[in-house]
Structure 1
């Protein structure tokens, strides 16, 4: 698989409103943003809405993207995170009056949310998954990125459940070994 220059695609979107480039970005980043938001504890339906809002913001604000300041993934994850923070603040304000405006907000500790950079820096993991045999890579993506159960995977791929589980165990062992080598 050929690497994609996401900054170049975003530049096309900014310059010419290139819908094909935008859809390539959407197909790549929307599931990752959704997974990130789920990791922050956002309910699935709300996460879907936030992803749509983030991608719409990226489309409308394409000219604001500066590849010298951040990668596209960092920029998109930051947009999604900021939209999530804004929605939490609005909900807290509605529920608790003006407590947020006064700065007295012990209930909503947004500083504990993982940074978008931690999620956006997925390049090493993506490369490690791509280096797996095709079936193992597909199983890992289905299990981890798509959050599918082993039973769902077995059913969709017409595989015995035990084969799915053992293949995933081998894949995760290879990933763990590969990522340990990258960190060294």
Structure 2
């Protein structure tokens, strides 16, 4: 199967859904290797973009792909594309690792506090993705300096000290700006429910 895998436009959502059906139903190792070979490097680039060191990113890719193998039957192409599903697994593993290793910042916890109530009680991953898109739109509507700080804290897992240093502003300004911004986002998300 790996040698007969289509390239370019032939590798669309329907193609990946059919590959994952084979993995889920028949535990098709060859089909899974097609998924691994295609998405593994992409997941690693994504994780290193989140500032995970190479070795950690590689470990997280292995963990994400193992989880995808073990839970292949949970993949539902009507709720998310395979890439969305895999990147979400990798992101969640990255967040768990950062929290476990003690490098998690209050800023990132603040964004999670905004996301968790929105996602609570959702029936499917597709709804969760819609809510995450709402959060991203809300962040995008912020003034550029505030949006940049939120992205640095949330997407790049930077500490308050790192943000202050990168932006050349006092640490207290970073903390107070993030706090005000989180309150604004929380209100904004509650108003759009």
Q: TM-score if structure 2 supplies the norm length? A: 0.49
For residues 110 and 10 of structure 1, do their structure 2 counterparts lie closer, same or farther at Cα, with a shift above 3 Å needed?
A: farther
SS in 1 for 2:38: helix
SS in 2 for 1:9: helix
- Give the corresponding residue for 2:106: 106
SS in 1 for 2:106: coil
Matched, 1:69 2:76: no
Give the number of aligned pairs: 103
- Give the corresponding residue for 2:21: 11
Q: TM-score if structure 1 supplies the norm length? A: 0.52
Distance 2:43 2:111 in 1: 19
Distance 2:110 2:64 in 1: 18
- Give the corresponding residue for 2:58: 48
Matched, 1:84 2:107: no
Runs of 4+ aligned residues of structure 1 deviating over 6 Å after TM superposition are none
- Give the corresponding residue for 1:28: 38
Q: Structure 1: which 5+ residue stretches go unaligned?
A: 118-184
User: By how many angstroms is 1:24 displaced?
Assistant: 0.5
Distance 2:95 2:62 in 1: 15
Q: Structure 2: which 5+ residue stretches go unaligned?
A: 1-6, 113-128, 130-193
For residues 86 and 49 of structure 1, do their structure 2 counterparts lie closer, same or farther at Cα, with a shift above 3 Å needed?
A: same
SS in 2 for 1:68: coil
The C-alpha deviation readout for 1:87-135, integer Å capped at 9, x for no partner, is 111112xx7xxxx8xxxx52645849xxxx8xxxxxxxxxxxxxxxxxx
Distance 1:88 1:20 in 2: 32
Distance 1:110 1:40 in 2: 17
What root-mean-square deviation, in Å, do the aligned CA atoms of Structure 1 and Structure 2 show? 2.2
SS in 2 for 1:25: helix
Distance 1:67 1:6 in 2: 9
